[in-house]
Amino acid sequence: MALEDAKTKIDDAFTREDLKGLSFENAFAGATSFLRRKYTKDLAGVDLAVTGVPFDQAVTHRTGTRFGPRAIREASTLQPYDPPYGWDFDPLSEFAIVDYGDVAFDYAKVWETPGLIEAHIRRILAADVGTVTLGGDHFVTFPILKAYAEKYGPLALIQFDAHSDTWADDDFERIDHGTFVYKAIKLGLIDPAKSVQVGIRTTNPDSWGMNIIDARAVHEQGPQAVAQLIREIVGDHPAYLTFDIDALDPAFAPGTGTPVWGGLSSGQAAILLRDIAGVNLVGGDVVEVSPPFDTTGATAVAGAHVAMEIIALWCWTRR
């Protein structure tokens, strides 16, 4: 069946009728929606929507993550042939998942973008559909959290990152990817006591109450033990997972704006994500994939796998 589909199927992103099921379209051909899901704005009967936010004007160093959603979608064409490895179910066949496309914004009116992102996510949530977002720089998580907190109340934030992003900044008009966690705490969008930052390896003197498991702790304690600690911190609180690709060491993900050595391996990240199965995940994102700084495409491949794991985590408790 798979071989026959490969011979005859093309552009599943537009031609497929069923929102569920694997896809056997040639990886090197066709329209590159995420995991070959159907491109649609129709959320009737949809469980989960993947959407892109190609915004990178909040960075402190290198731009390029505006190309992240496109690159992650292209990299994901290697994955929709089989259920994700290591899980005992197939989210692509059991859940209606679509590619909702990208948020629209005027790149020359940066100040309008946060509100547009928030409204974009709010529309999806209003249809009782979850979201997995492809960034974009890490600022985009801030307006997403606003939309989620409006629906769920203060969230437990599970943040994989090299940086804490808790630099104090009480100017809420500033658009900065290094301050979004601080602002989320100040606005009551997240509960720091229930939140955890994993992979941190840069200095910030004030954690603002966030639980921190730095990269060294992951290396020394092992990802299985750290995953258990994450579950204990978060409990059954509604959780949002944000994965900055620079949580991975530059050896595994060189295509990012602010790379820092000593990070997680892709193998450690895979174990961590799979072993926190059962957390009450309501949404998530993968951000800071910057394709111009990785000619191999490995960073986008990592981003696509992270997004698939977030999907599996979201679906796990809803089987």
Binding-site annotation: residue ranges:
138, 161, 163, 165, 244, 246
- The two most distant CA atoms of the chain are separated, in Å, by 58
Half-sphere exposure of 98 (CA within 13 A, CB side): 23
**Ramachandran region of residue 213, left (φ > 0), alpha (ψ -120 to 50) or beta?**
beta
Residue type, 269: A
Task: Compute the distance between CA of residue 198 and CA of residue 211 in angstroms, rounded to an integer.
Answer: 9
Annotated binding site for Mn(2+): 138, 161, 163, 165, 244, 246
Cα 15 from chain centre: 26
